């Protein structure tokens, strides 16, 4: 399998209320081993997956939000988050976790994985893919 | 053209497994290929051979089993999603010390890598779900 | 390069159609399936938006799903094109990728 394809994982659902967010993350983690060109899109309620301060002790479901911070180790470094979706929900970038990766092409400098994009830019990201998987 | 299909919602509750079935049949009728269908999230429930719908209703699991046999389609059930929801093949049941298994003919249990591989090896990917 | 988008939710219960219309590009196609077909209703509070978008994006409805829900004749927007499952397959092959708005 020498061919590299552009994979986009589209996250439009909030965590915990349904399992889609967690099982999407499981696909991303397994998919990392296939060395494709991977991007993640967070829009609509999907932006809630990345927020700080999640504490699931009272609901007995595993808090998987720290896993997003480990994505850099799997070379998953492009997390596109839609500004309009944040704004509609009264959120800003400050409400999101800090997610960093070390850029091997730039002397392992730490860089943010989250890229805030406008709705129009998100549409461009979506239109630039080979495979779009929606959750 | 090779078209991969994902079913990510359970049978009967949601129309996804029916829509996917009609879509796959139409793909085959059009002379294109469906090498694999991947069942994820509650979609794994389609594979239970203990399914017994009322006689005047469609039998979703049988429909898939028959279609797979007729056209050699690889029906893959995600192992992680299946185990969460109590779906086991004979090997897994044995390995996990369970006293029963329930995967229907034509379906096989495998990892999420099969989904990614399908994305790489097909020309289009279509998801039916919720 | 263009995309086929599918929407399977009623626009009166989720944002899927809205979000799809906000992100699709000129030359793309939108196919309403399952409960998504309610997005093709005439005289609804979504009608105007769908009609406007239909200038740049081709909008389809899966006829078996529309028929099942009694959406026939003047219940369906004139701008929306009905296709069967064979037409669905043609749309998938014609466009470079499929994006499903679940």
pTM given for the model: 0.97
Query: Smallest Cβ distance to C19: which of A43, A127, A131?
Result: A43
Of the candidates A119, A123, A132, which has its C-beta nearest C97's C-beta?
A132
Chain A contact for B92 (CB, 8 A cutoff): no
- Fold held by A6-134: Hypothetical Protein Ychn; Chain: A, (3.40.1260)
- What is the span of the domain harbouring residue B57? 3-128
Indicate if ipTM > 0.90.
yes
Summarised one tens digit per residue, pLDDT across range C28-53 is: 999 999 999 999 999 999 999 999 99
Look at A34 and B113 and tell me if their CB atoms are within 8 Å.
Answer: yes
B127 interfaces chain A, CB cutoff of 8 Å: yes
CATH code of B79's domain:
3.40.1260.10
Q: What is the mean pLDDT of residues C64-88?
A: 97
Domains annotated for chain C, with CATH where assigned, are 3-101 (3.40.1260.10)
Q: Which helix (H) or strand (E) holds C83?
A: strand C81-83
Question: Does the beta-carbon distance from B29 to C86 stay under 8 Å?
Answer: yes
pLDDT (tens digit per residue) in A53-104: 999 999 999 999 999 999 999 999 999 999 999 999 999 999 999 999 999 9
Burial of B99 (0-12, 13-18, 19+ CB in 10 A): exposed
Query: A92 to chain B nearest CA, in Å?
Result: 28
Q: Where are the domains of chain A?
A: 6-134
- Predicted local confidence at residue A3, as pLDDT: 75
C57 has pLDDT over 60: yes
Three-class DSSP category at C6: strand
Q: How confident is the model over B1-17, as a mean pLDDT?
A: 97
What's the structural domain count of chain B? 1
Query: CA dist A12 to A57, A60, A89, A135, Å?
Result: 24, 23, 13, 7
List, in order, residues 6 or more apart from C12 with CB less than 8 Å away.
Answer: C38, C44, C46
CB proximity A19 to B under 8 Å: yes
Over residues A22-46, the pLDDT tens digits come to: 999 999 999 999 999 999 999 999 9
> What does the radius of gyration of chain C's CA atoms come to, in whole angstroms?
12
Contact C99 A126 (CB under 8 A): yes
Q: Does the distance separating the beta carbons of B127 and A23 come in below 8 Å?
A: no
Q: pLDDT tens for residues B60-109?
A: 999 999 999 999 999 999 999 999 999 999 999 999 999 999 999 999 99
């Amino acid at each position: 399998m020498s061919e590299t394809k552009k994979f986009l994982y589209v996250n439009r659902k909030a965590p915990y209320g349904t399992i889609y967010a967690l099982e999407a993350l499981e696909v991303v983690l397994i998919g990392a081993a296939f060395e494709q060109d991977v991007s993640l899109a967070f829009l609509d309620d999907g932006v809630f997956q990345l927020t700080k301060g999640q504490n699931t002790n009272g609901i007995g479901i595993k808090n998987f939000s720290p896993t997003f911070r480990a994505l850099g180790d799997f070379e998953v470094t492009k997390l596109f988050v839609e500004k309009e979706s944040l704004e509609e929900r009264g959120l800003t970038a400050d409400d999101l976790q800090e997610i960093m990766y070390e850029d091997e092409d730039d002397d392992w400098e730490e860089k943010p994985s989250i890229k805030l994009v406008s709705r129009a830019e998100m549409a461009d990201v979506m239109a630039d893919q080979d495979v779009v998987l929606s959750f | 053209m090779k078209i991969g299909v994902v079913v990510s919602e359970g049978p009967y509750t949601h129309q996804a497994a029916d829509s996917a079935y009609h879509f796959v049949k139409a793909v085959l009728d059009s002379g294109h290929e469906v090498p694999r269908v991947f069942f994820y999230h509650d979609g794994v429930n389609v594979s239970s051979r203990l399914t017994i719908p009322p006689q005047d209703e469609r039998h979703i699991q049988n429909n898939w089993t028959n279609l797979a046999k007729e056209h050699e389609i690889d029906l893959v059930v995600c192992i992680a999603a299946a185990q969460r929801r109590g779906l086991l093949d004979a090997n897994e049941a044995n390995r996990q010390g369970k006293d029963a298994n329930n995967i229907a003919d034509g379906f096989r249990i495998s990892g999420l890598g099969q989904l990614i591989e399908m994305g790489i090896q097909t020309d289009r990917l279509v998801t039916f779900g919720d | 390069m263009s995309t086929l988008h599918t929407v399977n939710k009623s626009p009166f219960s989720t944002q899927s159609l809205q979000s799809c219309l906000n992100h699709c590009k000129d030359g793309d196609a939108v196919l309403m399936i399952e409960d998504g077909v309610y997005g093709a209703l005439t005289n609804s509070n979504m009608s105007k938006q769908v009609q406007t978008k239909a200038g740049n994006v081709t909008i389809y409805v899966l006829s078996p799903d529309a028929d099942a829900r009694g959406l026939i004749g003047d219940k369906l927007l004139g701008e929306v094109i009905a296709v069967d499952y064979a037409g669905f397959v043609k749309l998938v092959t014609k466009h470079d990728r499929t994006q499903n708005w679940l």
